[in-house]
Structure formats: structure tokens, C-alpha cells
Amino acid sequence: MHLVPSPGRPDPVTSLEIHKRRQRVQLARLLQITEKMLECAQDNDWLAVEELETLRKGELDACFEMQQQSPSLLIAEALATLLYLNDQIVALVKLARDDLVVNHNTMARNKSLIDLYEDELP
């Protein structure tokens, strides 16, 4: 007995290839978004980082869903790269936060000095 694919439905090998191609495209998109996030973080464009993070979250959800359906070494490797890039973004966020704290403390100290000076004026 020989199985003949149904008209309009790809054979299993073609379906697998289509699925793998979708995985590669989705992973490439996920990595591109993350790389763009890193570029924006390096430029201190935190609004763009936030917008890209929202976009990336949807891609990640879909990627994990795909990984559960069809585990793949390709997805695991791409996620490892993603985690590496994400660590760089987090490091930049921490530096920016630390800079903000220093700037805030400097401004608070300067305001206190100005208030002291104005209190001493006749």
C-alpha cells in the first residue's frame, strides 16, 4: 500500500521543512529585535528599548510555544545567544540606573546648597 498526499496538503517531509523554515525566520527576527534593543540601549534610547521589549515578548512567547511543539537544537542555540545579548542590555540598564542615581543625588545636594545660600541672603 502506498500513501498519496491529500490534494492541498503538503506531505510530512514538506510540512517539516516548512516548520523548520518558520522556526529559522522567527529566531532571526527575535535576534534582530534583541540586537536592535542593544543598539538602542547603547544609545541611551530607553523608550525604543521598552517598545522593542514589548514586541520581543510576543516573539518569545511564540518561540517557546514552537519549542514545546518541536524541540530543536537551533532554538536552544538561538536562545543562548539571546540570553547573552540580554545580559549586555541588562548591564547597560544598570549603568544607566546608576548614572540616574548619581545625577539625582548631585541635583539634590546642589538644591540643598542653593537653599542654604538663599537662606543666608539678606
The runs of H, that is alpha helices, within the chain are 12-42, 46-69, 73-120
Average pLDDT over residues 83-92: 93
- The third-level CATH classification (topology) of the domain covering 12-120 is Methane Monooxygenase Hydroxylase; Chain G, domain 1 (1.20.58)
* pLDDT for residue 23: 82
Which position has the grid cell 537551533?
Answer: 74
Q: Percentage of residues in the chain with pLDDT exceeding 90?
A: 38
Please give the biggest Cα pair distance in the chain. Answer: 106
**Residue in this structure with the C-alpha cell 539571546, named with its chain if needed:** 82
To the nearest 10°, report the CA torsion of 111, 113, 116, 118: -70
> What is the residue extent of each domain of the chain?
12-120
| 15-66: pLDDT as tens digits | 778 878 888 888 899 999 999 999 999 999 999 999 999 999 988 888 777 7
pLDDT at position 120:
81
